[in-house]
Structure 1
C-alpha cells in the first residue's frame, strides 16, 4: 500500500480515525468527481473557486483563458492546493449535536507549471475531456490553433495529499437510544439522466456510444 508521507501541511488532526493517506483511495476519490475547489490568494485576499479537472497519475490538469486570474496567480506562486468532496448521505441522529454527513474528501498539495508546448497542451486537454467523459475527445473536432493559443493549460504535480472518509451510521449518546425519535441515514448520490440532444443538431445524428455508455453506468 503506497501512502503520501505525512507532514505539517497534509496531516489530519481532527477526526484522525477517518483520515487516509493511501494513494489508491485518494485517486479513487479524484476519479469519482470532476469538480475541485482550487484555493489561491489574489491581492492579499483568499479565494476558492470550483474548477473542472482531469487526472493522469500524479498529475492534475486545469485550463482557462490566458488571462485567467486564478491560474496566472497560481503559476506565479508555483504552488497549489485543491479539494474534491463527495456528499454520500445525511446522518440524522436523535439529537441535533450528533447530526452529521457521510462523505469522501481529498485535499491535494503540489506544484504548478504552465504547459506551453502545443502537444503537451493538447494531451492535458484530452486528459481533462476524458476525465469528464471517457471517449469524448475522439468524437469531437480538433482544436483550431487560435483556440489552443488562447487557452492556458496548467499541470499540477501532486506532491502530497490526504483524505477523510465518513461512511458509518448514527453515533448517539448512550442514553438517547431509548428515545422515541427516528434516526438513520438518507443516502445521496449524483446520477445521469437520459441525454438531451441539442435542438440545432443536424438530422440523423444519433447519441454516440460513449455518451450512452456514460448514461448507462451512472443512471442509477
Structure 2
C-alpha cells in the first residue's frame, strides 16, 4: 500500500527513511495529534521544492483539513505553475519558544516546535472547489468571517491559485527542556538562563475608513492584546473543525 493510500485515520505517521530523525530521537513526534497541533498553531509555512534542479523555498499562509494541507498564491507564481502536474514538496512549520543560554557554547540552544510534511502538491482546478477552499481558509483563521464578506469576483478567483497536498509522511520535532548543561558545569560562575519568545497580538487598529457603527464580529473575540498568536490559531482551528 502506498503512503497516499494509507489509512488517514491512523493515529501516527509511519516512520521511514524520509521522515525518521537521524539523531536526538527523543525529540521526534510521529503521532498525528502532536504534528497537527504544531501545524494548526501556525499561520505561515515554508515550502521547499526543486524546479529544473534549482532548489527554492517559499513562505506562504496555509491551513490543514484532516491529512491535507492547502495554500494559495498568485496565478503568476512560478512555484504554483510548476505544481500544476504535481510537484514533490516538503512543507515545514517552526515555532521559536525560547532562547537558551548555557555555560558553554556547545550547549547554547533554543526551545522550539517544528513539523516537516512530505507530499505531492496539486493545483485545485475546479472553480467552485477553489472558491470554497478560499472561504475555508478565511474561516480557519477568523471563524465565521467568510459569510460576511463580499463575494470574490471571477477575475479575483482567476488571479488566485489554490494548492492541495495529501500528507504522505510527517514528523514533529520538539525541544522544551531549557538549560541543559553538563553536570560538572552547573557550579561554574557563568550566567545561564532561558529567554521565552512569544508572538503576541497588539492593540487593534481599525481601518481609518471604517463606516461608523460597524461592530467587531464575534469571531474575532480571540484576537485580544497580549494573547499569543499560536494559541489563538490553535483555538480558531478547533472552532473551524466544529460541526
User: Is the structural similarity TM-score above 0.5?
Assistant: yes
The partner residue of 1:61 within 57, 70, 75 is 70
Gap regions ≥5 residues in structure 2: 1-9, 230-243
> Is the 1:110–1:157 contact (alpha carbons within 8 Å) kept by the matching residues of 2?
yes
Does residue 133 of structure 2 align to residue 129 of structure 1? Answer: no
Alignment: residue pair count:
220
2:138 and 2:89 map into 1 onto residues whose CA distance is 21
Does residue 50 of structure 2 align to residue 41 of structure 1? Answer: yes
Q: Which runs of structure 2 are paired with 1:205-220 in the superposition (5 Å)?
A: 205-215=214-224, 218=227
Change in Cα spacing, 1:181 to 1:53, as seen in structure 2 (3 Å) is same
Runs of 4+ in 1 over 4 A off after TM superposition: none
RMSD of Structure 2 on Structure 1 (CA) = 1.9
Does residue 39 of structure 2 align to residue 30 of structure 1? Answer: yes
1:76 and 1:101 map into 2 onto residues whose CA distance is 39
Q: Which position in structure 1 is the counterpart of 2:115?
A: 106
Deviations 1:148-189 (A, max 9, x none): 122211111111100100011211122211111221211111
> Is the 1:61–1:153 contact (alpha carbons within 8 Å) kept by the matching residues of 2?
yes
Q: Which position in structure 2 is the counterpart of 1:13?
A: 22
Q: Offset at 1:219?
A: 5.7
Q: Offset at 1:217?
A: 8.9
Matched residue SS, 1:189: coil
Gap regions ≥5 residues in structure 1: none
User: TM-score w.r.t. structure 1 length?
Assistant: 0.92
User: TM-score w.r.t. structure 2 length?
Assistant: 0.84
Matched residue SS, 1:80: strand
> Is the 1:107–1:161 contact (alpha carbons within 8 Å) kept by the matching residues of 2?
yes
Does residue 103 of structure 2 align to residue 84 of structure 1? Answer: no
Change in Cα spacing, 1:217 to 1:29, as seen in structure 2 (3 Å) is farther
